[in-house]
Structure 1
Amino acid sequence: MDQLQIVLGALLVLALLAWYLSFSASRLDRLHHRVEGAVAALDAQLVRRAEAAVELATSGAVDPASGLLLADAASIALEVGEQADHVGATQHAVAPRLAGGDLPGQDHVSRERAESDLSQALRATLDQDVVAQLSADPVLAPLVDRLAAACHRVRLARRFLNGAVTDAARVRGKRVVRWARLAGRAEVPQTFEMDDDPPPALVD
């Protein structure tokens, strides 16, 4: 009878362990998918911001020097974003991973730098007087509003992504996750670090 109790106890422990491992793996999978969604949302908002900046820069409403600066920064941001998307799609095709959508190494850093440069160009060209002049034009006012909304959504999307990455990293750091290798071959998600401060005139 004692041996039966020991066997039953051991089976119960193993069942609880299996349940806990399954629960942890499912949770980690959900967190990785949350990161994927957040990456896609941030990418969409960054593209919208850059497209609005290009449209404004080529509208003739800003002086030529400012227009050139803004168009150059926005075009580079779009180009780097397209390259990042291509690399990400290739990686998924060759080796799908739960943390997909995020880019490793230099591609990730280049995207952060390009988007930061665009933020700086926006602040350099869209001061209070320029924004007031553009907003007074019934044709250009909607473009200014669209750019302001995109800048705001970029900040929100980046905050959501970084929060999701932090949550995933915390779970991945648990001993049981590392011991059981529940993350599999999924790469560690990365936060997206950029200068996302909009021109003050767009948030007044």
Structure 2
Amino acid sequence: MSEVLSWVFAVLFVLVVAAWYLSYTAARLDRLHVRLSGTLAALDARLVRRAEAAVELANSGLLDGATSLILANAAAGSLEAPADHGEERELAENDLTEALDLALTPDVVAELRSTPLGQDVLARVGSACTRVQLARRFHNDAVTDVRRVRRKWAIRLFHLAGHTPMPHTVEFNDEAPEHLTPV
């Protein structure tokens, strides 16, 4: 009888440990998904701010008409792109990065730095570009963490992720124009 009781306690102990492990793992995965949602929201906010800074630069009257138009169109494309971070959004962000590169040549940046309004607008654009780079990197790090945890056997076997789609990294050119760095 004591041997049966020992086996029952051993099985119960194993079940309690397994339940605790699964509960802990599910909670950890949930926290990672919440973090992922936060980083995606932060990235969206930073992308909007970069597009707004580009619109501000385009409407400042400090650039020539054609450059202003190109920059404004690229910024509008970024603001109107779907928020799902699919291929269309990434192309719009690439276009805005290229438009900023085109607009902010060394000569233009030097000319803008010679006026207080130009310095202010450049500072906003530079800050927005830097924040986009950081937000995208934080988001991609969070995606990597979620994907690493979701590859574990317990999560796959017990479907702890539910029907949540596997996240993917956001890939686009987010480099600030090289001449935009502070003097």
| Matched residue type, 1:164 | A
Segments of 4+ moved more than 2 angstroms: none
| Matched residue type, 1:157 | A
Instruction: Give the Cα–Cα distance (whole angstroms) in 2 for the partners of residues 160 and 109 of structure 1.
Output: 20
1:111 corresponds to = 89
**Structure 1 residue 140 displacement after superposition:** 2.4
1:2 corresponds to = 3
The counterpart of 1:139, out of the listed 107, 117, 120, is 117
1:150 corresponds to = 128
Residue ranges of structure 2 left out of the alignment (5+ in a row): none
After superposition, the CA RMSD in angstroms is 1.0
TM-score w.r.t. length of structure 2: 0.96
Instruction: Give the Cα–Cα distance (whole angstroms) in 1 for the partners of residues 157 and 98 of structure 2.
Output: 44
2:165 corresponds to = 187
**Structure 1 residue 73 displacement after superposition:** 0.5
Deviation readout 1:41-78 (Å, 9 max, x if unpaired)? 11111101000101111222111111111111011000
Instruction: Give the Cα–Cα distance (whole angstroms) in 2 for the partners of residues 8 and 116 of structure 1.
Output: 61
| Matched residue type, 2:75 | A
The counterpart of 2:103, out of the listed 125, 132, 138, is 125
Deviates more, 1:153-162 or 1:56-65: 56-65
Instruction: Give the Cα–Cα distance (whole angstroms) in 2 for the partners of residues 116 and 167 of structure 1.
Output: 25
In our comparison, the structure showing a higher alpha carbon Rg is: 2
Instruction: Give the Cα–Cα distance (whole angstroms) in 2 for the partners of residues 188 and 111 of structure 1.
Output: 19
Deviates more, 1:163-172 or 1:136-145: 136-145
Instruction: Give the Cα–Cα distance (whole angstroms) in 2 for the partners of residues 155 and 173 of structure 1.
Output: 27
Residue ranges of structure 1 left out of the alignment (5+ in a row): 85-102
1:54 corresponds to = 55
2:45 corresponds to = 44
Pair 1:21-2:22 in alignment: yes
How many pairs align? 181
Pair 1:162-2:163 in alignment: no
